[in-house]
Structure 1
Amino acid sequence: MASVFVFLYYFVLLLSLLGQKTSSTSTDTSCVPWKANLGVVIDRSSRVGREQKTAIEMAVNDLRHCSEFTLHVRDSHGNSAASTAIELISHKHVDAILGTLTQQEATFVHNSLNIYSIPIISLSPTSSVSEQAPATTSSFIQISANITYKMQGIAAIVGHFGWRKVITVNEESNRFSSDYRPTTLLSDALQAVGSSVDYHLAFPRVSSLLDPGPLMENELLKLKNMDVKVFVVMQASVEFARIMFEKAKLLGMMETQYVWIVSDEIGNILDSVGFYAVKSMQGVVGLKTYFADTTEHFRKFHKRFKLKYSKEYPEEENSNASLYALRAYDAVKVIANALQQSEGKINESTDFKNHILSSDFEGLSGRISFEHGLLRRMPNFQIINVIGGSYREAAFWSPGHGFVADITEVDGKDMSSGDRVVIGLRSLYWPGGKLDVPKGWAMGSKEKPLRIGVPAKGAFPQFVKVSYDQHLNRTVISGFSIAVFEAAVRHLPYHLYFQYIPFFGTYDEMLEGVRNKSLDAAVGDTEIMADRYAYAVFTQPYIDSGLQMVVTAEPSIKDSEFIAFKAFTKKMWIQYGALSLLTGAIIWLSEYATGNTDFPKQPFFDLIGYILWLSVSIMSFSLRERIENVASRLVLAAWIAVVVVVAASFTAVLSTLMTVPRIQPSILDVDYLLKTNAPVGCNGNSFIDRYLINALDFKPGNIRKINSIDEYPGAFNQGEIKAAFFVAPHAKVFLSKYCQGYTTSARTFKLGGFGFVFQKGSPLATDFSEAILKVTQSGEVNKIEEKHCRISRSAPTTKT
């Protein structure tokens, strides 16, 4: 009974296929079946070649009512197809050739045989000419779009994410191909978006190698050690891509921070390969040429193709038809239509070739019409993202339209003069399974990180502190300078692999290590000095600096018996006394003139004493004389108001003098230190001693080198130094910690500020300068300074 059901199943399936063939061949019953010899050159070792062979055979069978093709199929085995094409023309006398020939091969074939009338239709995935460089002969036609468009699409992805450099990877096709052309076109497209090709790697064709694995592994290892982490795979077979991504995964190049972009040559075939081929491509982004896969014509073809392909190649995991199979089918139809239009007169005129070039119909792969030997219509690309065993669609990209969410909204529309549809890409999963966009550039590597020197003997651990954590069993590097550096690293446009190297010498010796390349950079409280540019280059200063003199502080008022007179200045006392006498004199004259008996006429000296007494009595509000004149009363009222205000001010100032200690520097300027040969102290590992000698004319014998912030108070107390010289950030820290008894004095000597040090010619200096500006403008530096330096808001910073 089961065998009966099986028989019925296959019988129904056979009838269905016969019905589909009948429907496909019944489109035109008025055709005359003209005969022609058709040469086919494909690479059966590749998935694309096998699909093309199957599709061509299907097309010949479907169109047999109009064209009787005699197929002469040859396998190029991945080598040049030129010699095979010559053999087909010379011995099989084919009327047209279909195959994976390039423009250079076609030109070679025509020139070798001196025959230019036989059309060669190229099925190569990538066109070998551009619109600016049309084919040298009109007998060479390519069923592919201008290669420039795909390069612009790749550049659009690179520009969208702001990657500044890429590395291109290419599988060489054969000896006739100009493989430099795609790289040149991509370089031009990248330049338009502010990027460039940093390095180009060309692999031999996989089919030409007995064991491509070791070679590919060695070459990928070279790429891994480069700084650029954005790789663009331009021309490659699916076999090449499978091996390459497997090796890249083994080498750790399919992890976070890496970017892989593939052209449509690989993207177009992803529907046809199985999970095994894409499992190593997780996170890959690429182009896929868009075509309508929802039409009834396509569904019928695809169903028959899967059945035929799986029967011919049962070992294949997937039997879906790719774009290349559709184009091969359409190519046969192009020749069949031209054969009908020329009424089978292939060798008698050029009509056959011209009819091919004038083709215009809707094929399985899209609109088929030619211009300059290429498909006329600009392609639309899907932006795909490989996830799991397949891919997802992130957006569309089309020349003139850019990124769009739905290609049907703009397909076929001219938007050159109207509004462009501009969108962003959907969130993409990158290698390593992360949604965060990789920076595309990494300085150093996990295996060989950059060596960043840090001063291990700095006098101020608030800026750089090197300690050993016994619980973690490792050296811990911390401090203000380290925090600023790590904040700047987060703002770099690429990933930075680095490790801190504690340096136990002086700052100048550390810079010498950068110069001789034993260190890649130096991070710390390093002052930017003109003479240090002989060693290395500096970044933008991350904190301003200057040389300040710190001295002991002493009370500004020593004689407490006369402290009351310090409330006002000398000028103020004189003015106040003069106004008091003047007020007393005005009141006496006014009252005497009106005949007030309380203000009698007196001898001159007695009158002066009386006016003085009158002034004092008015200030103390003890005036006993009677005031009768209105003018005198007005003057008196105004003066009493002044006295009240002055008395209140006097009381406030005097209270301040008596309750708040007033200090002043014990030494006011550098000249006093120079004249008295006073000893001074400074950081023994820094540039300050050299600056004191060369710029301020201190004698070397008067300079004491001090190696710790905590040693300065003892040196002051024991009289070893009379003043200490710090850079401004260090002075803030010192006064914050020892805010009692010390203050700054004299003027600040302007310096370059603190900066990070890099080797001469290193691009890191410029990138870090930009990152430092971002950190500074965001206010992050101020927060880091308050956290690590603990600047006290009330710490004395009195200057004179």
Structure 2
Amino acid sequence: MLSFKCLIVLEVQQDLERFGISKYGPELLQALSNITLKGLAGNFQLLDGQLQSSPYEIVNLVGHGARAVGFWTKETGIVKELNSSNTKTYSTSKNKFGSVIWPGDKTSPPKGWVIPTNEKKLRIGVPVKIGFTEFLQVTWDSDSNSTEVKGYCIDVFDAIMAALPYGVPYEYIPFATPDHKSAGSYNDLVYQVYLGNYDAAVGDLTIVANRSQYVDFTLPYTESGVSMMVPIKKNKGKNAWVFLKPLSWELWLTSFCSFVFIGFLIWLLEHRINDDFRGQPLQQVGMIFWFAFSTMVFAHKEKITSNLARFVLIIWFLVVLILTQSYTASLTSMLTVQQLKPTVKDINQLLKNKEYVGYQHDYGMNFDESRLVQYNSPEECNELFSKGSGNGGIAAAFDEIPYMKLFLAKYCSKYTSG
């Protein structure tokens, strides 16, 4: 079959070779080059054997009508008017167009496929909360009977929707009662999405196991987790005797004994061969203490002649250097850095002492419900801490990390997280 096809092609090529050159060819080519006519597709004209492109009119279709918004020519590109004087530069910029009306009677171009404006918008449910309005805040305008939703969560959602390659019309619907109060907990809002009353929910909604059984969550856009927050107590130990606190009493006693021992050891090695370590018994005892304690601050005028005593002094100087540097660093830290300690170290201490604790949302804590106190704002939480656990307040609070950071940003000098 393959050889048969090759034979046919070969015979056709041999027939074409028998064709001669027509003597009327040049005349026909000249006649076609001189033809100029106007047809349905525009002007027909050949220049150097090439068909010349005629100007195109750019039309904006609006409903059942049309309106011209520009022209395209081979010489100038896109122009707003056909007889434009700008013939030196070639441009394809859309700025050369006239005003264009897009579907929906809009002057801005649509972003991909847009749901028709007469269709139902996405209903985005948002919770109504009192405190921590930096994350989400819903306000009502009684004059225009409208709502305004703003906050960090709303900014993130709006930025994501604006980055989509297509347009999605949506509206925020507060999860509230007719008197503008919260219609339920966050679990209730999530369940309303499951029932189809809302298409989605936006807000400071924590991803927990029971909610994941009804809806799907996006990836977290902020740090998640729950932590404990407690007051801090200041260390008021800065007094006249603060210079003794860098070292414990055991270390002070050990250091004193070491100084006396080194002084006695140097005297023992030098007093037989060195006149500086001789004299009356009381004078020699003074020399022992003098020589040992003065090694910390300056060199001695007494000369050491024994090599063994020199070796002992070298080791002792290293010990003194380490001791003085550690003491200086500890004392500097105590004098310059404020010593802050938490009042509660762990949860077991709270359970053991039966302290009252605060919470904003129910995180399934293993505390007695009678010991739980709910708060709704940073100011309310600070007030509960100020009262104390025994006076109607709380000793600690459990909250999510974003709320905790916001609270500590306002009251960083009074509380700490653990």
In structure 2, the residue matched to 1:588 is 267
2:192 to 502, 507, 513: 513
**TM-score, structure 1 length as denominator?**
0.37
The alpha-carbon distance between structure 1 residues 640 and 509, as it changes in their structure 2 partners (threshold 3 A), is: same
Asked if the contact 1:552/1:742 (under 8 Å) is kept, the reply is yes
Partner of 1:678: 355
Pairing 1:725–2:409 present = no
Q: CA deviation at 1:389?
A: 2.4
Deviations 1:109-166 (A, max 9, x none): xxxxxxxxxxxxxxxxxxxxxxxxxxxxxxxxxxxxxxxxxxxxxxxxxxxxxxxxxx
Report the Cα offset of residue 439 of structure 1.
3.0
Match of 1:675, SS state, is helix
Local SS of the residue matching 1:739: coil
The answer as to whether partners of 1:444 and 1:496 remain within 8 angstroms in 2 is no
Match of 1:740 in 2: 413
Query: How far does residue 630 in structure 1 lie from its aligned partner after superposition?
Result: 7.3
8 Å contact 1:460–1:709 — kept in the other structure? yes
- Residue identity matched to 1:704: V
| Structure 2 contact 233–343 (Cα < 8 Å) conserved | yes
- Structure 1 residues 414-445: Cα deviation after superposition (integer angstroms, max 9, x where no partner): xxxxxxxxxxx965577539998743134684
Q: Which amino acid aligns with 1:491?
A: A
Alignment partner, residue 715 of structure 1: 384
Aligned pair count reads 347
Aligned to 1:627: 303
Task: Indicate how the Cα distance of structure 1 residues 556 and 321 shifts in structure 2: closer, same or farther if over 3 A, else same.
Answer: same
The equivalent residue for 1:616 is 293
Q: CA 1:553/1:471 → structure 2, altered by over 3 Å: closer, same or farther?
A: farther
Matched, 1:432 2:106: no
Please tell me whether residue 699 in structure 1 is matched to residue 368 in structure 2: yes
Which of 456, 476, 488 lines up with 2:128 in the alignment? 456
Contact 2:277 2:287 in 1 (8 A): no
d(CA) in 2 for partners of 1:551 and 1:478?
30
Aligned to 1:537: 216
Contact kept? 1:450, 1:497, Cα under 8 Å: yes
| Cα shift at 1:626 | 2.6
- Tell me how far apart the structure 2 counterparts of residues 501 and 485 of structure 1 sit (CA, whole Å): 14
What stretches of structure 1 of length at least 5 have no aligned partner? 1-26, 30-294, 306-319, 327-363, 366-382, 396-404, 406-424, 746-800
Q: Quick one: which amino acid aligns to residue 722 of structure 1?
A: A
CA shift, 1:628, in A, is 4.0
Alpha-carbon contact 2:263-2:288 (below 8 Å) kept? yes
Matches within 5 A, 1:215-234: none
- Counterpart of 1:527 in structure 2 is 206
Distance across 2 between alignment mates of 1:721 and 1:730: 17
Who is 1:482 aligned against? 154
SS in 2 for 1:553: strand
1:656-695, Cα deviation, whole Å (9 max, x unpaired): 4245431111000011112222111111xx3xx2421xxx
Contact 1:706 1:712 in 2 (8 A): yes
How many angstroms apart in 1 are the aligned matches of 2:298 and 2:194? 81
Amino acid at match of 1:731: M
What percent identity do the matched residue pairs reach? 32
Q: Judge conservation of contact 2:267–2:277 (CA < 8 Å) in 1.
A: no
TM-superposed CA distance for 1:470, in Å, is: 7.5
The 2-side partners of 1:28 and 1:458 are apart by 97
Q: Which residue identity lines up with residue 487 of structure 1 in the other structure?
A: A
What letter matches 1:543 in structure 2?
T
Q: Hey, what's the Cα distance between the residues in 2 that align with 1:725 and 1:656? A: 31
Partner amino acid for 2:186? Y
Shift in alpha-carbon separation, 1:451–1:427, aligned structure 2, 3 A:
farther
Alignment CA distance shift 1:385-1:717 (3 Å): same
Aligned positions of 1:763-778 closer than 5 A:
none
Instruction: Structure 2 unaligned segments of length 5 or more: list them.
Output: 1-21, 25-29, 45-49, 61-66, 78-90, 176-181
Q: Is the 8 A contact 2:122 2:169 kept in 1?
A: yes
Q: Distance in 1 between matches of 2:31 and 2:253?
A: 110
- 1:495 is paired with a residue whose SS is coil
C-alpha offsets along residues 25-55 of structure 1, whole Å, 9 cap, x if unaligned?
A: xx999xxxxxxxxxxxxxxxxxxxxxxxxxx
| Alpha-carbon distance change, 390 to 619 in structure 1, aligned in 2, over 3 angstroms | closer
CA contact (8 A) 2:277 2:284 kept: no
Partner Cα separation in structure 2 for residue 570 and residue 492 of structure 1 = 68
Q: Any idea what SS the aligned residue of 2:364 has?
A: helix
Q: How does 1:148-547 map to 2 (within 5 A)?
A: 297=32, 300=35, 302-303=37-38, 305=39, 320-321=40-41, 386=59, 388-389=67-68, 432=102, 438-442=110-114, 445=117, 448-468=120-140, 474-503=146-175, 504=182, 505-547=184-226
Q: In the aligned structure 2, how far is the partner of 1:567 from the partner of 1:535?
A: 58
Q: Which has the higher contact order (CA 8 A, sep 6+)?
A: 2
Determine the structure 2 residue equivalent to 1:668: 345
Report if aligned partners of 2:125, 2:189 keep a CA contact under 8 Å in 1: yes
Kindly indicate whether the alpha-carbon contact (under 8 Å) linking 1:596 and 1:628 is maintained by their aligned counterparts in 2.
no
Shift of 1:478: 1.7
Q: Aligned partners of 2:315, 2:23: CA distance in 1, in Å?
A: 120
Deviation at 1:706, TM superposition (A): 1.2
Q: Which one-letter code corresponds to 1:709 in the other structure?
A: P
- CA distance in 1: counterparts of 2:122 and 2:73, whole angstroms: 36
Change (3 A) 1:741 1:446: farther
Contact 2:278 2:284 survives alignment (8 Å) = no
Q: Secondary structure at the match of 2:402?
A: helix
Q: Deviations 1:485-524 (Å, cap 9, x if unpaired)?
A: 2222222222221212222221111111211121111111
Is residue 139–residue 149 contact of structure 2 (8 Å, CA) maintained in 1?
yes
What residue identity is the alignment partner of 1:498?
Answer: Y
The 1:470/1:597 distance shift into structure 2, 3 A limit, reads same
Q: CA deviation at 1:742?
A: 1.1
Indicate conservation of the 8 Å contact 2:134/2:151, yes or no: yes
One-letter code aligned to 1:567: P
Q: Distance in 1 between matches of 2:111 and 2:150?
A: 26
Q: Deviations over 1:709-742 (max 9, x none)?
A: 2111221222221110110111011011112221
Instruction: Tell me how far apart the structure 1 counterparts of residues 298 and 168 of structure 2 sit (CA, whole Å).
Output: 80
